[in-house]
Amino acid sequence: MTSTARFDVDALRARIGGAVLVPGEAGYDDARTVWNGTIDRRPAVIARCRTTADVAAAVDFGREKGLEIAVRGGAHGISGNAVCDDGLMIDLSPMRSVTVDPERRRAVVEPGVKLGELDAATQEHGLAVPVGTVSDTGVAGLALGGGMGYLTGLHGLTADNLVRAQVVLADSSTVEASVDEHPDLFWALRGGGGNFGVVTSFEFRLHPVGPEVQFALLFWHHDAGIAPVRACRDVVVRLPDQAGCFLVIGMNAPSAPFVPEEHHSAPGNALILVSFGTAEEHAQILAPLHRDVPPLFELVTPMPYTGVQQALDDGFPPGVRAYEKSLYLDELSDDALDVLADRGTGRTSPMSLSFLFPLIGAYTRVGEGDTAFGGPRRVQYVANIVGMSHDPAELATERSWVRDTWEALRPLAGMSGAYVNYMAEAEQDRIRASYGATKYERLTEIKGRYDPANLFHRNINIKPA
């Protein structure tokens, strides 16, 4: 039950240029709906901000009235932190501009922009920001938590390519953060999440990419056993910097035109490989798989970079009910692969899956303390176990499957932390472990300087010192 009796909505409307919505008004339910269909929260008021001044006014209002504040960017996070019950949602989704400077190789991006929109704008100039792999994801949350994708080996994380940010702080003042201005804040923004303020503008470094790259999806039926998974592992651990991949262990074949109809929804494992070199180099990476473990079916083809960035979208549809847990692996051991393959048969929903993502190349060449990113800067692998279903009862079963699989994999992990953008639950011990003691202490000190009252706490929260 939400109530606006304790504050004057018209006073907020008078202070911002965007729409202000309360329960029962047109647009309210759409504005409070996020990607994860399990999230059904009802803010007392939603401020749909259009400008940095709107954001500052909304933060000021929320702080003055003692409202819990949630900040919505792309609203793709499984945790659903973008929306709160009975508080103020600061909705950044109307802020959708992307300005590309091809000469300087820079893009200035507002916080409501999604990856597909950013990719489209930058690819007009044959350029790209290294981002994630589902085009409906919001740029803001992705970048603030890290941001990994097919370009990680060549150009690092999304956060590694941030060069400047405009931030509305908890006291509603606005500052610029870069290596020269508020460098402590700039350090914290690159991996520390939304703990330190509301970022209203990101400036990213751009890199030449595409417009056409090399794509491959190879699929093996579950009946082929563990051999294809181990063969894929051997390809992944030798992956050159100019390639990125997902190794999916436990999935159902898509009902796509390139999949023979008799194999639609078949249970199995897959390798998705994207290369930024030549077709010949791409073929050389795949050659051991074609020779030793021929797939049940495959799609190997040049593809526009924007198409590659949308290739996984159908597997993560808006409104699906979802839950996930992740961890870091120092190596793709036989034991780890066996756990994932064995547990992959325990899925109830055909939408659920586990995947492994390599962090290599440029990712490892950033200094351990150069950014706040929560993970060691050495070659490692992110393992993410994702339960998804449109059926609430089935998701309850999948949630247990995710947790049991994670528990079985946990003894093989290199550390007890995880990639913060893949945390459905903000477990304080795992947050600390993700950053490590030294980095976490530094983050708490910066949090204490910029948000001492922890106004921005609906996130993977770092408590102020």
What are 209-222's pLDDT values in tens digits? 999 999 999 999 99
Q: What torsion do the CA atoms of 380, 129, 200, 104 make, to the nearest 10 degrees?
A: 130
**pLDDT per residue over 393-414, tens digit each?**
999 999 999 999 999 999 999 7
What is the pLDDT, as a whole number, of residue 1? 43
Mean pLDDT to the nearest integer, 152-161: 98
What single-letter DSSP state applies at residue 122? Answer: H
What is the pLDDT, as a whole number, of residue 4? 64
Query: How would residue 427 be classed by pLDDT, with cut points 50, 70 and 90?
Result: confident
Rounded CA-CA distance 334/19 in Å is 54
The β-bridge partners of 394 are none
Mean pLDDT to the nearest integer, 218-227: 96
- Type of residue at 94: P
> Count of residues for the chain?
465
Rounded CA-CA distance 104/258 in Å is 40
Rounded CA-CA distance 421/70 in Å is 17
Mean pLDDT to the nearest integer, 234-245: 96
The structure's pTM equals: 0.96
Query: Which residue segments constitute the domains of the chain, with CATH numbers given?
Result: 9-91 (3.30.43.10), 98-209 (3.30.465.10), 212-422 (3.40.462.20)
**pLDDT per residue over 85-138, tens digit each?**
999 999 999 999 999 999 999 999 999 999 999 999 999 999 999 999 999 999
What is the pLDDT, as a whole number, of residue 385? 97
CB 196 within 8 A of CB 189: yes
**H or E element in which residue 322 lies:** strand 321-329
What single-letter DSSP state applies at residue 88? Answer: E
